[in-house]
Amino acid sequence: MNASINKICKSAGKLIGLISILVISNVANATLINFDDVTASWTAYANSSMYTSGNVTFSHSGSFAALNSSTNDDRLSGNTTTALYSFNNSTITMSSTETFNLVGFDGGETWDNLPHAWSNSIQVIGYFAAGGSITQVFDLDTIKDEINGLQTFTASGFTGLSLLEFSGVCLTVCNPEFSLDNVSISSVAVSEPATIGLLGIMLLTMLRIRSR
């Protein structure tokens, strides 16, 4: 009897291993938000609108526009694709209907040779779904050009979030503006009910065979 139970336990252990592999393969679905589906213009999303991609929505506290540094204004610090540009001391807020992790983003200064205040840094605040927050400041290189104007930043500890806030930071009192592109997030997928159901049937079948 004990030997039979041991066999069942060993088989169950193998099955749990299989479940783990299947569940792990479902973890960390990555999503890149690049704003390239927007027709870039000075009025796109400026002042009163927002940008939505899948479960994610970007909004602002003042104004932003979806612009392309190659086609809209080559004085913008960009990467030749469409990016979001925060204007007038505007904080860009990103929310999602699903809990997510921030992997990283591309950020840059806004203007070259205009009397606008550009950011020296971008501050990111992540609000945990379970409560509390995390803050990280990413320093810009203060080089503004349309080809390589954006830097790639990697976030650390931004896991299990419900909301993100991107804000420009400058050294003196100013109206810091910044650009934002290629926001990379990941989600920890819940194991699929169909997979669990199938594995449950397999486990029951195996136990029946063992009990014969």
Q: Which residues bind Ca ion (CB under 5 A)?
A: 34-36, 81-82, 108, 141, 143, 149, 181
CA 65 to chain centre: 19
Q: Choose between 127 and 181: whose C-beta lies nearer to Ca ion.
A: 181
Q: Choose between 126 and 149: whose C-beta lies nearer to Ca ion.
A: 149
Q: Choose between 81 and 136: whose C-beta lies nearer to Ca ion.
A: 81
φ, ψ (nearest 5 deg) of residue 17: -60, -40
In the complex, minimum distance from the CB of residue 46 to Ca ion, in angstroms, rounded to a whole number: 17
Q: Choose between 80 and 91: whose C-beta lies nearer to Ca ion.
A: 80
**What is residue 176's DSSP assignment?**
-
In the complex, minimum distance from the CB of residue 192 to Ca ion, in angstroms, rounded to a whole number: 32
**CA-wise closest residue to 15 among 26, 7, 3, 27:** 7
In the complex, minimum distance from the CB of residue 79 to Ca ion, in angstroms, rounded to a whole number: 7
Q: Choose between 127 and 150: whose C-beta lies nearer to Ca ion.
A: 150
Instruction: Give the pair of three-digit tokens for residue 182.
Output: 């290629």
Q: How far apart are CA 96 and CA 5, in angstroms?
A: 47
Q: Choose between 2 and 39: whose C-beta lies nearer to Ca ion.
A: 39
Which residue has 């992540």 as its token pair? 126
Query: CB-based burial of residue 124 (10 Å sphere; 0-12 exposed, 13-18 middle, 19+ buried)?
Result: buried
| Dihedral angle of Cα 170, 96, 127, 106, to the nearest 10 degrees | -30
In the complex, minimum distance from the CB of residue 82 to Ca ion, in angstroms, rounded to a whole number: 5
The residue number with the shortest CB distance to Ca ion is 81
In the complex, minimum distance from the CB of residue 59 to Ca ion, in angstroms, rounded to a whole number: 18
φ, ψ (nearest 5 deg) of residue 13: -60, -45
Alpha-helix runs per DSSP H in 50-186? none
In the complex, minimum distance from the CB of residue 47 to Ca ion, in angstroms, rounded to a whole number: 21
